[in-house]
Amino acid sequence: MSSGRETPAAAREAMARRRAARLAAVQGLYQLELAGGEPSAVAEEFHTRAADGEAGDGAPLDAAWFRKVLEGAWADRARLDAELESALAQGWTLSRCGAVVRAILRAGAFELVALPEVPTKVAITEYVEIAHLFSGGGEPGFVHAVLDRIASRFRAGRGAP
């Protein structure tokens, strides 16, 4: 299209690529927490597995977004963890959450804190959906509540949806 606007099909594809990138970033953050290493090495491993057809369901991902979230959330995890701790209910600690939930919360908090171009509702919904992929219990509601608190702290007054 010459208007510079995406077609509905192109917009859906872009959303699917970004969703795949978010899921891969959560998986990468989980791997970094459990096995250590450098985000750049984890990113390369994910790209190699994707090129070999071994990554996820084969959905292409937005590689730039994947790296931005993976590297940004990992680099800023001390600050993000402090913010997440303060957003938890009294008596809860981030260490009490499982490693998968921590990875989801870090990625979601990173987008809410550092990427103002992402609509609030989109960031929260995407990470709640990822929580549903890993859990049939109360984790999705927990993720929603914590990210909503982070959003209210960092996005208040910005007019973010």
Express each pLDDT in 120-145 by its tens digit. 999 999 999 999 999 878 999 999 99
d(CA 104, CA 82): 15
The model's pLDDT over 74-109, given as tens digits with 9 standing for 90+, comes to 999 999 999 999 999 888 899 999 999 999 999 999
Gap between the Cα atoms of 41 and 75, Å rounded: 14
H-run or E-run covering 20: helix 8-35
Chain CA centroid to CA 64, Å: 13
Q: Look up residue 75 and give its two tokens.
A: 């680099």
Percent of all residues in the chain with a pLDDT value above 70, rounded to a whole number: 88
Highest mean pLDDT among 5-14, 17-26, 48-57, 151-160: 17-26
Half-sphere exposure of 58 (CA within 13 A, CB side): 1
Closest by Cα among 4, 7, 6, 14 to 122: 14
Going from N- to C-terminal start, the domains of the chain cover 8-154
Please list, residue by residue across 66-91, b when 16 or more beta carbons sit within 10 angstroms of its beta carbon and e when fewer do. Answer: bbbbbbbbbebbeebbebbeebbeee
Give the Cα separation of 153 and 136 in Å (integer).
28
Domain 8-154 class, CATH top level:
mainly alpha
Q: Is the pLDDT of residue 52 over 60?
A: no
Q: What pLDDT shows up at residue 156?
A: 78
